[in-house]
Structure 1
Amino acid sequence: MSERSSYNPALVEWTGHQGLPRFDQVSDADFAPAFEAALASHEAEIDTIADNPDAPTFANTIVALEIIGDELSRVSSLFWNRAGAHTNDVIQALEREIAPKMSRHYSKIGMNAALFGRIDALWQKRESLGLTVEETRVLERHWKGFVKSGAKLQKPEQERLAKINETLASLGARFGQNVLADEKGWALVLSDPNDLAGLPGFLTEAMAAAARELGEEGKYAVTLSRSIIEPFLTFSERRDLREQAFKAWVARGENGGETDNRDTIRETLALRLEKAKLLGYGNYAELKLDNTMAKTPDAVNNLLKTVWAKAVVRAGEEEADIAQLIAEEGRNHEVMPWDWRHYSEKIRTRKFDFSEAELKPYLQLEKIIAACFDVAGRLFGVHAVEIKDAPAYHPDVRTFEIRDRADRLVALFLGDYFARSSKRSGAWMSSFQSQHKLTLKNGTVGELPIIYNVCNFAKPAEGKPALLSLDDARTLFHEFGHALHGMLSNVTYPSVAGTGVSRDFVELPSQLYEHWLTVPAILKQYAVHYQTGEPMPQALLDKVLSARSFNSGFNTVEFTSSALVDMAFHTRGAVEDPMAVQAEVLSEIGMPKAIVMRHATPHFQHIFAGDGYSAGYYSYMWSEVLDADAFAAFEETGDAFNSDMADRLKTNIYSVGGSIDPEDAYKAFRGKLPSPDAMLRKKGLSTFEELSGADA
């Protein structure tokens, strides 16, 4: 065991409220010595299991593996949280050092022949061990993890694989840091009142706050934070400024110089292909899709291309409407990407008689957070209690206890909602601690999940409420759906807890949860005007609900093009010029000139800032097929909060983690696997008659 006196014990001895870390007692300088000690401790624990003279059993090998590494897990969770949500030069330098070091550490474990021999012995006789379904899944996860780490390779190939993994870890860290640097390094500072033409008050307030942070008091800053850039592109009447801001937004990672990601991408793709070949796969997508619901690249591409064909037709109709409006305004320019949001908002205002600016005063962050908690209470019987005096990792972060109907503590939840320059863009869920029921070495039985959500909403001026767009509100519900997946986990083994599921199943609980935002009972109660407290008028509510599939062609084209490029990168073999491949794929599928990928390759963090969604960006749509069908199950009962259906959802989806096969989990909830029909209807890309005809 490591000597904890050699590093700050606050990193691993969490003595805060209900077992929270004492974030206020951890400094940036504490991490380096803590990692050294925790890595050494974990290595010693691994050796003890591998060198056990007793014959391998599930208890002395698999359970033993499940409960070791506590120090490393705690240090790592605190560090990666800080690296993503509140970073600085010291943390970024350590990130570049730690990423390859962690890769070397886990490569060494994965290639430990004695340890794999014990796991393999159990795997080969698994049918005779009397294991539960969950235990079989846990054994399978460990065995497949070792095989994919090179346990069956010869020594030279193992050493090469370890080097590949180490380099990929470094490349992923560099990619994410480069995108963040480009986001931090660009701002369009405005001072002329004419530059603000068309901008609503909520946006100018956010831009003024951003300018103050840049030291430009009294001015207004367009930044590349999504909570500012998207509404600016939507409302600004200054086409020249929209173009300038849009081009900066899509150029992240492609600006030349030290932060340019193109060489990083090329090297990443080459190493991923080499890794796949070493492990006996034809390409990297085959490696990543093994053990997913989709299973093969063909299955993924078939879904994506089916949806693409419908989406691009709808996008063409939407573009024609925009072109007509441009002509009506007496302009003669073609529809360009920096025009789309602006004119589609005008069309929505005309078609449905409401605008995003009219809607936003009814969507207060505080009320939408309360709505998230209320839906969880109605469906799953949990409620949130805010703890005001618990130190967090940033002053903006809020801490909640999550309790069940009997007021028992089931989880701790932290919400980090506002954009800042020390935080990477986007929104995500992660955990400091996962749920499980095992007895740890210190005698503790089980652990509570400690889950956090990170978002990037514009922080309001002092004393003003934070107002969200409808997309922002959906994002909040989406991430809280992920959080519930972690917090409602009820399994025995930590490796299959919460979000420890296949990549194309993990988005089901989050995307499904979004549906309850627009349930009329929720909007009526929580969509109230921030000044008057009056609920959203029924007429406006009806318009919002009727407009749910508006602009669906654009949104689906944005997403599907990104997913198709991701799959092309990871199925086409060697990629000499990633940007040429991107251009080739977009040309092949007929990408409209007026729309760009949601995530262009040089800032596609899902697939290059780490390995999480590589050959896996499709999973949002795969899960969308599931979530549309799952919500339809509630609609079929006539009650969005049907208690029997909610119990089945909690029992079979939110609580089981990866303890059973995802197909079995879904069928236990719904009775069958879904077709894309409900998803296409939700997007407004197919009529019921079309789908009925296709089914016939």
Structure 2
Amino acid sequence: MNKKIYMAAFLLMSVSCSKQEKNPLLEDFNTPHATPPFEQIQTKDYLPAFDQAIAAAQQEIQSLANSSDEPDFENTIVALDAAGEKLNTISAIFFNLNSAHTNAEMQKIAQEVSPKLTEFGNSIYMNPQLFKRVKYVYDKREQLSLLPEQSTLLDKTWKSFVNGGANLEGEAKERFKEISIELSKLSLQFEENVLAETNDFELHLTAEEDLSGLPEGVREAAALSAKENGKTGWIFTLHAPSYGPFMKYADNRELREKMYRAYNSRGNHDNAHNNSEIIRQITALRLEKAKIMGYETFADYVLTNRMAESPAEVNDFLAQLLQASHPFALQEKKEVEDFARSLGFKEELQRWDWSYYSNKLKQEKYALDDEMLKPYFKLENVQKGIFDLAHTLYGLQFKEVNNIPKYHPDVKTFEVYDRDNSFLAVLYVDFFPRPSKSGGAWMTEYQTQHIRNGEDIRPQVSLVMNFTRPTENKPSLLSFDEVTTFLHEFGHSLHGMLSQNTYNATAGTSVYRDFVELPSQIMENWALEKEWLDTWAVHYQTGEKIPAEYIEKIRRAANFQSGYLSDRQLSFGIIDMDWHSITHPLKDSIVDFERKAMQPTEIFPAVEGTCFSTAFGHIFGGGYAAGYYSYKWAEVLDADAFSAFQENGIFDPVTAESFRKNILEKGGSEHPMTLYVRFRGHKPTIDALLKRSGLR
């Protein structure tokens, strides 16, 4: 997942404008469920809204810090959590749209506003009077008889201040502030560069023979792309629904190589969008920040607040999985090489050959291909199947509505209700790629669930994907990977929508980074279950139910190249940990550093000019720095957790209710291992994952 993290502004404020200068962002939202009035908001509204909200916040925070009341849990810790509603709302709207539907003006505003928000955050955490109040409450914690969620909020608030530099003084404090501001700018620039590089490339083909091997649906989508750009022929891009099928099906090896090199060199060209120097700066500044805080590396600094509590524990975990998977990956490569040779391939197998020949081998072994499955995975049917699954497991009901404002015509809006018909959440779904949207898929929120003045404020959740678009002749037909992606992100949305917490900081997906992927990854398991697929997967033209033999093929092929796929995911976690385990700023080549770090996982020769890190937005543009290992960590959790459903039935209401009550509703109100053991009855081990993956 990817959830976007925004600056929390700790204030309680009211901002108004003159009648002549009404700004919809600064007023109460007179919309269903107080959802953002997207249709009223103009790009020019953001900057003045931020400026006014921050100015008012600075006065409010100082008032709280100067309070003469004796500090206690309610007037200090709860007040901080409840504060900042308007500024938080503005930030959520702006930064969500800056990822999902941006433009050059918004990107410019982001560069201007992000340092201001960082500076405001620094002014909170480094306010000595405010910290004194927080410390007073924290030091008395054993005497307060707090409930578990209250204890968690107090501990989280204390750590936020300490990790935010509250104990720093003099030059160290000032330098910490400077670093935080600079990092906020660099991360934004990194993401903007990746988006620009993705959008700047197109493979424009005019000769039909160059389309050899490509399925009809892929050709239609490329023809539509060309038509929309005022060109003849076919256009292929680096967006996932275009790039992935091209690499899998195109017979023309030279064109596959061209596409591969373009995709894997994003951010590594000698142009204005080069990210190499930005990586140097980000990693050096993160290291300096960690050292100011008394840690040897940035990974040490980050992992103080994770289930895995140290770099050593993470590295041991990754090494254990790599030891299990790498021998399988090497065998899988040899199998593909031998198969390619049997088809007359005489060259050295390269990375741009892997998807192509792997897919042919998969068809040979299992008689299974995405193109034969896609007719049964019409997007609307997949959506219904997933919504119905949430109804079966948790009693949720989804009602599509048209009165909630949208930020783009592609967006669909839903009201979500519980089994007793009580309102639970607003859900936005944004399915298709466009130049204004970042790549990938993620869940985020415009409003987090919390209790305010005794009222349960329900969440506003958004799912953003980049799925295959409908063409002039076909509806959107998803690949199996896209189906599992939908399930994954929907799992994140359940974590947000089902939240039943009191405080913003403990609600929904506000959990340890290496726990947040459990609710998402466990949902992927249902994609392999005949009992679920039988409820919705029908041919989009004939209505025929997906054949039982197709489902059996999906299940038998589930572990196809699981060693390679595990190695690939582990390589991302390893390079992340290496980048954030440096003890001195990197002076050597970015590419050389990456290749050395990822060498234990490699099965292919290096490709000159390519670099994975320069487009690794999760760690250089998002919140996964020293945390990408969490995807594999959560796989251990989800494999063990889903085995409970397998033991009791994949629709078992008792198991589902336990998962809802102990995991999904609890958010970050208690330590994640406490929640997990309460659900499962024991701590997880990697055994279930290795067994499920066929690696043991």
Q: For 1:65-144, what aligned pairs fall within 5 Å after superposition?
A: 65-144=80-159
Partner of 1:2: 15
> 2 CA distance for matches of 1:594 and 1:517?
34
| Offset of residue 43 of structure 1 | 1.8
Partner of 1:415: 429
> 2 CA distance for matches of 1:681 and 1:562?
22
Partner of 1:396: 410
Q: Alpha-carbon deviations, 1:535-560, whole Å to 9, x = none?
A: 11111111111111112122112111
Q: Alpha-carbon deviations, 1:280-334, whole Å to 9, x = none?
A: 1111001111121011111111111111122221111111121112211222111
Q: Alpha-carbon deviations, 1:447-474, whole Å to 9, x = none?
A: 1100000000122124631011111111
Partner of 2:356: 342
Q: Alpha-carbon deviations, 1:490-529, whole Å to 9, x = none?
A: 0111111000000000000000111122221221122211
Partner of 1:628: 639
Q: Which amino acid aligns with 1:657?
A: G
> 1 CA distance for matches of 2:592 and 2:213?
38
SS of residue paired to 1:290 = helix
Q: Which amino acid aligns with 1:555?
A: L
Q: Which amino acid aligns with 2:518?
A: L
Q: Which amino acid aligns with 1:516?
A: W
Q: Alpha-carbon deviations, 1:624-662, whole Å to 9, x = none?
A: 10000000011112x101111111100110000110110
What is the aligned counterpart of 1:377 among 376, 391, 396?
391
SS of residue paired to 2:70 = coil
> 2 CA distance for matches of 1:647 and 1:463?
42
Asked if the contact 2:15/2:27 (under 8 Å) is kept, the reply is no
Asked if the contact 2:264/2:610 (under 8 Å) is kept, the reply is no
Q: For 1:661-680, what aligned pairs fall within 5 Å after superposition?
A: 661-680=671-690
Q: For 1:276-675, what aligned pairs fall within 5 Å after superposition?
A: 276-439=290-453, 445-462=455-472, 464-574=474-584, 575-577=586-588, 578-587=590-599, 589=600, 591-593=602-604, 600-610=612-622, 612-637=623-648, 639-675=649-685
| Offset of residue 11 of structure 1 | 5.1
SS of residue paired to 1:257 = coil
Asked if the contact 1:558/1:595 (under 8 Å) is kept, the reply is no
Asked if the contact 1:205/1:460 (under 8 Å) is kept, the reply is no
Rate the CA distance shift 1:519–1:594 in 2: closer, same or farther, 3 A: farther
Asked if the contact 2:25/2:46 (under 8 Å) is kept, the reply is no
Structure 1 stretch displaced more, 519-528 or 21-30: 519-528
> 2 CA distance for matches of 1:61 and 1:39?
20
> 1 CA distance for matches of 2:226 and 2:695?
41
> 2 CA distance for matches of 1:213 and 1:354?
33
| Offset of residue 415 of structure 1 | 0.2
Asked if the contact 2:396/2:418 (under 8 Å) is kept, the reply is yes
Partner of 1:215: 230
> 2 CA distance for matches of 1:500 and 1:462?
42
Q: Which amino acid aligns with 2:451?
A: K
Asked if the contact 2:501/2:665 (under 8 Å) is kept, the reply is yes
Q: Which amino acid aligns with 1:582?
A: E
SS of residue paired to 2:429 = strand
Partner of 1:55: 70
> 2 CA distance for matches of 1:554 and 1:4?
58
SS of residue paired to 1:453 = strand
> 2 CA distance for matches of 1:425 and 1:380?
31
Q: Alpha-carbon deviations, 1:365-384, whole Å to 9, x = none?
A: 11111111111111111110
| Offset of residue 389 of structure 1 | 3.8
Pairwise CA RMSD: 1.6
Q: Which amino acid aligns with 2:487?
A: F
Asked if the contact 1:663/1:673 (under 8 Å) is kept, the reply is yes
> 1 CA distance for matches of 2:271 and 2:473?
41
Partner of 1:692: none
> 2 CA distance for matches of 1:509 and 1:286?
26
Q: Which amino acid aligns with 1:490?
A: Q
> 2 CA distance for matches of 1:140 and 1:462?
55
Structure 1 stretch displaced more, 205-214 or 252-261: 205-214
SS of residue paired to 1:287 = helix
| TM-score for the superposition, normalised by structure 2 | 0.95
Q: Alpha-carbon deviations, 1:640-694, whole Å to 9, x = none?
A: 01111111100110000110110100000001111101111122211xxxxxxxx
> 2 CA distance for matches of 1:68 and 1:388?
31
SS of residue paired to 2:427 = strand
> 2 CA distance for matches of 1:153 and 1:618?
30
> 2 CA distance for matches of 1:210 and 1:606?
28
What is the aligned counterpart of 2:196 among 149, 160, 181?
181
Asked if the contact 1:380/1:646 (under 8 Å) is kept, the reply is yes
Structure 2 stretches lacking a partner, 5+ long:
1-13
1:64 aligns to 2:79 (yes or no): yes
Asked if the contact 2:24/2:41 (under 8 Å) is kept, the reply is no
Rate the CA distance shift 1:93–1:293 in 2: closer, same or farther, 3 A: same
What is the aligned counterpart of 2:42 among 27, 31, 35?
27
> 2 CA distance for matches of 1:402 and 1:208?
38
Q: Which amino acid aligns with 2:337?
A: A
Q: Alpha-carbon deviations, 1:415-474, whole Å to 9, x = none?
A: 0000000000000000000001131xxxx7231100000000122124631011111111
Question: What is the number of equivalent residue pairs in this alignment?
Answer: 678
Rate the CA distance shift 1:181–1:437 in 2: closer, same or farther, 3 A: same
Asked if the contact 1:319/1:335 (under 8 Å) is kept, the reply is no
Q: Which amino acid aligns with 2:15?
A: S
Partner of 1:260: 274
> 1 CA distance for matches of 2:196 and 2:292?
34
Q: Alpha-carbon deviations, 1:551-575, whole Å to 9, x = none?
A: 2122112111111011011112122
> 1 CA distance for matches of 2:60 and 2:145?
27
SS of residue paired to 1:259 = coil
> 2 CA distance for matches of 1:594 and 1:477?
34
Structure 1 stretch displaced more, 34-43 or 117-126: 34-43
Structure 1 stretch displaced more, 239-248 or 576-585: 576-585
> 2 CA distance for matches of 1:117 and 1:175?
37
Identity, % of aligned pairs? 39
Structure 1 stretch displaced more, 539-548 or 37-46: 37-46
Q: Which amino acid aligns with 1:254?
A: N
Q: Which amino acid aligns with 1:609?
A: G
Asked if the contact 1:45/1:69 (under 8 Å) is kept, the reply is no
Relative contact order, CA 8 A, sep 6+: which one is greater?
2
Partner of 1:690: none
Structure 1 stretch displaced more, 455-464 or 538-547: 455-464
Asked if the contact 2:497/2:508 (under 8 Å) is kept, the reply is yes
> 1 CA distance for matches of 2:671 and 2:332?
40
